[in-house]
Structures are given as C-alpha cells and as structure tokens.
Structure 1
C-alpha cells in the first residue's frame, strides 16, 4: 500500500476564538459568563434595633469589644465577642420610635414574579460602567470578549409569515452590529497599546468576519496583527501567521516564512504547528526534503500535546501503525486502535468512524461489538460525518437486540442527513426509501429528484432507475437489485437481528 500523507486542512481557528458554525467548531470562551457580572454591593448593615432605645443605647453604652454577635432568640440582647452577656438598660426617650429596618432583605429571592435575573442589556450596562472605571487592559480585554460573545448570542426574532416583525429583526441585527463595532474599537485601542491578547483576538475577529464590512473575512487586516502577536510570543498567532503565509491569505504565499512561523509555534508546543511540521517532513513539503523519522517525531510531539481542536496527529499516528511506514513505523494494530480511541475521546470524527468500523467488522484486533460500533459511529455522526451517518442508517435498518431497536424511520432520517452532506450512495438510498416507502411516506416525485442528484454524481444504480419507467414500481424489498434484504419482522437474514451480510445499501 502506498503511504502518501496529504496535509489535512486544519481548522484555522484556535480554541480561544468564537466559531460561527456551532456544529463544527467547539466554542471556548476566555471567561465564564459568571465572571462578567459585576459584584453586588454588600447588604446594608443594621444600625438600629426595634426602636429608638437601641440608638440611644449606642451613645451611652460602650462595650469592651467591637465584635458583636446577634442572638436570634432575643433581638434586644447583645453579646460581646468574649461571650459575656450584658442586659440592655431601658432609658426614657421622648422621641417617637423609628420603624424597624430589615436585617437582610431576601424578597428578591422569593419564587414567583419577584424572582428575576438581570436582563442582557442591564448586564451590559453594568459591565460597561465598570469597564470604563478602570485602565487595566486585562479587564478591558475581558469586556471586549464579553461584547463579542453577547453579540454572537444576541436574540434575533424569527421572521413571521406576515412580516409584521421586520422592524424588530432589523433593530436586533443593528444592535448586534453595534456590539461588534464597540468590541473591535476597544480591541484596536488595546492592540495599539501593545496588549498581546487583544492583538490576537482582534486578528481572529477579522479572520472570521466579525466587525468587518458585510461580515466578510478580512485577512488584510488580520495578518499584520497575527504577526505582531507572534512577535510578542503568542503561539496561536504564530501558527495562524504561518497558515496565512502558506495559503497566501492577506500576504504573498511564502513557504519559507510559513516554515519559520510554524517552527516558532512548534517550539512553543503548539499541537497544530507540530502536526503541520510532521506532515511536511513526511511528504517533503514547505521546501523540506522527505525525512520520515523527523516527521514521526513531530507527530509524536503533537500527539503528546493534542487538544480537542488539534487531535490530528493522534489519528495520523494510528494510520501509520495500522499499515507501517518505510521501516520507520512498525505495524501494531492494538496500539493503532488505542490511538483511535484517544482521538475519539477528543471528539475527532474520522477516528471515531474508523473505530466504529473496527468494532463492526472485527478489524485491527477489535472484537465484533455492536454496542461499541454504534457508540463510535454516533460520536462521528453527531458531527455530521456523512459516512458515519450512513453507517447508522444500516444499523437502524436491521437493529441489534438489546442494543439498538430496529427503526425504518431513524434509518431514513440518518440516510437523508448523509445525502444532504453530498454522500452519493446515501442519495440513492434516500430515493429508494422515498419510492418504496421505507421510514417515510412514498413520494415518487421526491424520489426521482434524489435519483437525479445521485446520477449526476456518477451513481450507476440511480441512472438505471431513471431510465426505467417511473410509473413501474421498484422491485419490492428483498428482491434482486433491492437496497436491503431483510428477514421477517425487520431481522437480518441470519435471524439474529444483526447487520445483514447481504445488505447492499452500503
């Protein structure tokens, strides 16, 4: 087997940035939501008891200790810090008694209409007021990050069919843009003052279309800031600057410069940069000659520092140990499966899908285990890995006793999800399900549309079906040319409810 390791397209965003795609990317904030709320003031201290006698007593009675302990059993008694009890002396007073004041008002914590959190706008006002009182760049930076996060999650009303809320939608969108502008303006001031986190975060905003014209990516402004933050020692900024130089984003394409930035970030233990250097050494990229041993070393370093955002080196090492590589990496299926499990724990969809295959078919020394196979397929499918989605389609078609109930409806939904992700065989399967009525109501018109999409992508079965008379119903399930062959009650041909060996849906 020829081992050619092409450079995978790594996410160009660090874990500290804000993703626009909630599915793909994993959002990691710089501070938790609780940190952005201003500290509440201390409750008012009680200065008077039940009447004016307490006030007058304060002027006449001088305790030997400043610490008092409140006795809930007798509100008229005071205790010294040393525990000695002194009864209160009643003195005449010509003034009218003052109304009692609450020791601590808990009315705002009562359930019902009185219980309420601060609104988003009120929180912003309080935070903005506190941020203006300080010249601490760290606090101002946290406020800018909070503004970006608040804008990202600012509620936009759903459009109504009648269009009566168009103005409300526009106001909400304008408010979001105002927050973005306020955040980027503050970040620019901090960046000009040499604040490294602000330089990087502002560059990341520009690179992702935050605070830019029409939300378009602006690498012309992002790249210089990446370089500036990299010079101040920011590992993520060095990696992003190297990516820009490699691809020509906001600058000329210069592999030599990209290599310098990657090495700078790699020396700072950035797993993404270490992975890129490893692939470059394996394939002889970025002006380097092929040096497999050096490439494997870089991959191992990246795997040691792998994160949920950069688990790629673990997966690559697993593939190397699965097949071996140029007398540098020996075949070790057990270790390869362990590496795939590590990457799956970090949420890496390709590793989870591969491990699902291993447990389904008993590959790489893994036992055939329906529960584990479905588990790992599900990890990948939740991230829209199209092959994993389609693998779940096959599992739901036949089911697994005690693990997964047979469900044509779920099979159709997962097949459609894979088809919408442009998986050709899933397009044909969706057309078949719609024509025959598996997991959905029969719809010949919709079925033909899916057949056409599959045929345009080169699926021969879909092309043959389109040539046939569309008024002629397709061969019933189980016959020649069918998508699946199932026994009675949804069982597989072996009668055990497991994956059917004759299932040709895959």
Structure 2
C-alpha cells in the first residue's frame, strides 16, 4: 500500500579533496546533519498588505466623516474577478497605480513626511482609519474584500505588551483592539458572502476553520463547511478542495466519500494541485470507495506535479518515491529522475524531500555523489521547517564538522539535538541527556540529563533505559574508551570507516 507523505536553492561548492565523510545516523545517535543558522532563529514576520484604494477614494477619505454602509444597495450578486486565490493580489505601488478618478495627482500627498531625522509616516491607526473610511464608500466588492483581509492580517501583527503585574490594562486594551478588528472584518466578510462574493465566502470559511472570529478561538467547521460549499458552487477551486476534505473527514458534515470525490473532481477540473494529488493517492491505494488503479493514480500525480506550489508540493515527493522503488508495469525505476523530483519539491520548501536529499548526498544513495556541502544544505532546508530528523542530522555534522564547508561546533551540535528532542525524537532525547551528563556543548547538569533520559526511556529508547539503571550519581568520566556512550575520532584514524570513505567517525552507541 502506498503511503502518502504529509507536507530546495543554491548549492554549496565543496572541495572534493577536503570532503569529510558523513556521520552515520545509525552509529551517531542514529544521527543526521547540520545547519548554517541557529536553531532558534526565526523568520521575519510579514507586514500587513493594505487593500487597493483609488485616487478618488483617497481624496474622499475623511476618517471623521459619518460612517456609510459597507455594501451599496443594488444587485445582490457580485461577479468576482478572483477565481483562483481568495487572497489579494501582490502589493502594488500606490504612487504608480492608475487612479479610478480623473485626478492625475498622487494618491497621497507627502505633507506628513519630513526630511532628515524627523521623518514620520502615518501611524497605524491613522492608516487604518483612512482605509476604513474609503472602503465604506466604495461600491467595489473586491476592494471591500481586500480591506477585510487587511484587517485580519493587521489583527495578527498588532503589538501586545509582555504581561507584567503593572500593565494588565494595557494588555487587555491591545487584545481588545485585535478582537475589534476581527469582528469588523468578519462582519464585512459576512455582508459580502451573503451577496455571493466567492472570495469572501471562502476566506470567511477559512477563518472559521482556523478559529478566527469564533467563540474562544476554536475551530468551527459547522459554519465553515456551508461557506466552502457556496464558494465551490461559484467556481472557487480552493473552496471545492476544502469542501472535499470536510466530507472526507466529517468536519462540519457527515463523512461521505462519494461527496468528497465530487468536490475533489470539481477542484481537479480547475487544476487544483491538492485535489489532483488526493485523487492520485486514492487511486493508488483504493481509497474513497475506489478500486486500486495505479496507472490512473500516477496520471493524477503527474498532473499535480506539473502544477505544484509551495502549499502543494506533495505529488513531486510521491512520484520520486515511486520512481525510487518502481511499480510493476506502471512506473520504472529511475534514480536520477527521482532525485530531480525531490530537488524540485525541496526548492518549494518541502521538508521530507529536502531531508531525503540530505541523506542521498551524505551516503551516496540514488546515484547521488557523497557531498557534505549538499547534504548539509538540504538538511538545513528541512531543519528550518522543524523536521526533527533533519535537526538531529545536523547534530552529527556539527560534532565532526566538514573542512571548508562547516566548522566543528559542540555548542551547535547540542542546540540542534535539543531542538530535535523537543520535537519528540527519542534518540535525540537520549543524545541531549548524554551531552548534559558529560558536558558537550553545554555545562554538565546531571539532574537535567536524567530528565531527558527518562523522556527517552518513556518512548522506549533502550540506551536511556540502561543508563537510568546505573548509578545516577556516577557521571561518565570521559567521552571515549570502553563502554563510553559517545566516541569521536577527530584525528581521522578510526578503524571503523564506512565504505563511503569516511575519515572521521562519530558514534553514540
């Protein structure tokens, strides 16, 4: 039975003369390799994108003017121009945007800007008021929809002070502002959804499904599912796919495979990569009430792979696995093509593909050469997505380093092992316990080491169980020698070199 997977970029130039043998993930804590950035590094948060506003709307945009109704009287159905994504288009420069009105002057005068050190921009509240006033006056449902999306996005980025005994009121006010923005946005989305605006129907359903605008922030599929269905009837591919997932899993409706198939096929007809992938897996495994038809399943996977996105790269990975092992009379074994598919998925940020490539370049699998630089590179991609096995692989790489590619660092090795352990990897928990007991990359702490050993033992790690059976008050005296948990040969004279030509070895036994 074929198992569907859950949900890469420049290459390092490695010097073939200085290539360091990879660390055996089995021997080393069952390890894997390192990253170049710190495991606690975070990605910058994206800024909220304001909706499009016309020149005339800005000219009329008096935030102190009396409120007007969001939705104008007239036709109760707006034909959306956004049949694809419910999200607003990429941001465009307001200064370069063509005005809907006749005035050729810039949308904003720059009187609020001052040169030099006293330069100032519109405050967040002032900007929001301008957009609110103009969105209320416009008759364009797409602009009103974009303003609602802007408010939802802004609610996520509004700063909330760190709670302290002296700022309870400030924190409550900040949270209340967030709630007010969400309430205003969902009210506007409801008006647009009632008038048949597909993008609003889908986005509001997505909010409910993610606990935005719901009681206590809980997911509410009872309200989300009917909106997914409405948007799907109006030709929204994402909504059709989400309605299919609801029917398949019984979210907000009865579990019905036949209806799920109908929605998946509707979305697949619009080339939705997620729907095509789900149909492919269903055909391969005989799911959703269908019989096994591997040939048809592979066809769907190929179509999905052709339309793969960062959100739906799964077909690329699944096809790579099929070409790695082959399917009789359907898919032939082709390691080179499988590696190419994995690289495409890794470039889209898919961590299982990046991790698999890291393994291939470490051990020379699937026809890939042993290349520490590429191995580390792909492990890094996966680890940045919190792939716990990739994080632990980096532990192994940092323990020995790679000349010209990665400097040896016990501290980084410990940090990546801890990140993998926090992700629930038992062998990483054991490694963290040992690092803390011996003092590798961190000050020795027998009490905390015992805590990690216990966590690993609870998950069935035999080495942790054995270590706990010993005298907890007798720490290990050194990292090497008979009976040692960890052995590292930095001089490259280890007699246990693998057939891959390793000149260094790191073993957590």
Structure 1 position 478, deviation (Å): 2.0
The separation in 2 between residues aligned to 1:134 and 1:41, in whole angstroms, is: 12
Distance of aligned partners of 1:36 and 1:209 in 2 relative to their CA distance in 1, 3 Å threshold: farther
**Within 2, Cα distance between the matches of 1:355 and 1:134?**
51
8 Å contact kept, 2:399–2:506: no
Q: 1:111 is matched with which residue: 108, 116, 126?
A: 116
The offset of 1:171, in angstroms, is 0.6
**CA deviation digits over 1:394-415, x for unaligned, max 9?**
0000000000000000000000
Return 5+ residue gaps in structure 2 as ranges.
8-40, 61-108
Residue of structure 2 equivalent to 1:358? 360
- Which residue pairs with 1:422 in the alignment? 424
Deviation for aligned residue 1:386: 0.2
Offset at residue 503 of structure 1 (A): 2.7
Matches of 2:467 and 2:289 in 1, distance apart? 50
Deviations 1:207-233 (A, max 9, x none): 000000110000000000000000011
Secondary structure of 1:482's aligned partner: coil
Residue 336 of structure 1 is matched in structure 2 by 338
In the alignment, the residues of structure 2 paired with residue 188 and residue 480 of structure 1 have an alpha-carbon distance, to the nearest angstrom, of 70
Partner of residue 174, structure 1:
176
- Residue 508 of structure 2: aligned partner: 505
Q: Which residue of 2 aligns with 1:384?
A: 386
* 394, 402, 405: which one aligns with 2:404: 402
Shift of residue 108 of structure 1? 2.8
- Structure 1 match to 2:481: 479
Which residue does 1:313 correspond to in 2? Answer: 315
Write the deviation string for residues 308-338 of structure 1: whole angstroms up to 9, x where unpaired. Answer: 0000000000000011113211100011010
Partner of 1:246: 248
**8 Å Cα contact 1:429/1:483 also seen in 2:** no
Counterpart selection for 1:446 from 437, 443, 448: 448
Structure 1 distance, partners of 2:173, 2:343, is 47
C-alpha separation between the residues in 1 aligned to 2:472 and 2:354?
A: 39
For 1:134 and 1:265, locate their aligned partners in 2 and report how far apart those are by CA, in whole Å. Answer: 32
> Is the CA contact (8 Å cut-off) linking 2:305 and 2:316 kept in structure 1?
yes
TM-score (norm 1): 0.79
Query: TM-score, normalization: structure 2?
Result: 0.79
Give the deviation of 1:351 after TM superposition.
Answer: 0.2
What is the rounded CA distance, in whole Å, between the counterparts of 2:203 and 2:285 in structure 1?
32
1:466-501 per-residue CA deviation (whole Å, 9 max, x = no partner) reads 010012122521224434322357x684899x9676
Matched with 2:2 is 5
Q: Looking at both structures, which has the greater relative contact order when contacts are Cα pairs under 8 Å and sequence separation is at least 6? A: 2
Deviation at 1:9, TM superposition (A): 4.8
Inter-partner Cα distance in structure 1 for 2:172 and 2:503:
54
Out of 189, 197, 207, the residue aligned to residue 187 of structure 1 is: 189
Contact residue 51 and residue 143 of structure 2 kept, 8 A: no
Equivalent residue runs for 1:252-267 within 5 Å: 252-267=254-269
**Structure 1 residues 481 and 299 mapped into 2: Cα distance closer, same or farther (>3 Å)?**
farther
Of 123, 126, 132 in structure 2, the residue corresponding to residue 122 of structure 1 is 126
CA displacement at 1:107 relative to structure 2? 8.3
Is residue 475–residue 482 contact of structure 1 (8 Å, CA) maintained in 2? no
Partner residue of 2:371 out of 362, 369, 372: 369
Could you report, residue by residue, the CA deviation over 1:357-405 in whole angstroms, capped at 9, with x for unpaired residues?
0000101111110000000000000010000000000000000000000
Structure 1 unaligned regions, length at least 5? 11-22, 43-103
Per-residue deviation, residues 145-183 of structure 1 (Å, max 9, x unmatched): 0110010111111123xx111111111011101100000
Q: Find the residue that maps to 1:503 and give its secondary structure.
A: strand
CA 1:348–1:286 in 2, change beyond 3 Å: closer, same or farther? same
Question: Equivalent residue for 1:302?
Answer: 304
Q: Which residue number in structure 1 is paired with residue 151 of structure 2? A: 147
The correspondence for 2:470, drawn from 445, 453, 468, is 468
Structure-to-structure mapping, 1:222-301, within 5 angstroms: 222-301=224-303
Change (3 A) 1:24 1:181: farther
Aligned-residue CA RMSD (Å): 2.6
- Distance in 2 (CA, whole Å) between partners of 1:502 and 1:476 is 17
* 8 A Cα contact 2:358 2:378, kept in partner: yes
- Contact 1:477-1:483 within 8 A present in 2 as well: yes
Q: Distance in 2 between matches of 1:36 and 1:403?
A: 49
Q: Distance in 1 between matches of 2:229 and 2:217?
A: 22
Deviations 1:64-101 (A, max 9, x none): xxxxxxxxxxxxxxxxxxxxxxxxxxxxxxxxxxxxxx
By how many angstroms is 1:37 displaced?
Answer: 9.9
The one of 206, 209, 212 equivalent to 1:210 is 212
SS state at 1:486 partner: strand
Superposed CA deviations along residues 400-442 of structure 1, whole A, max 9, x for unmatched, are 0000000000000000000000000000000000000000000
For the residues of structure 1 that align with 2:54 and 2:479, how far apart are their CA atoms?
60
Task: Give 1:5 shift.
Answer: 1.6
Tell me if the contact between 1:399 and 1:499 (Cα under 8 Å) persists in the aligned partners: no
Q: 1:256 & 1:107 partners in 2: Cα distance?
A: 59
Count of aligned positions: 424
Rounded Cα–Cα distance in structure 2 between residues aligned with 1:141 and 1:454: 50
Contact in 2 for aligned 1:256/1:286 (Cα 8 Å): yes
For residues 501 and 267 of structure 1, what CA distance do their matches in structure 2 show?
A: 54
Distance 1:107 1:9 in 2: 50
Taking structure 1 as reference, are residues 24 and 199 closer, same or farther at Cα in structure 2, changes over 3 Å only?
farther
**d(CA) in 2 for partners of 1:36, 1:428:** 57
Contact conserved, 1:37 with 1:127, CA < 8 A, in 2?
no
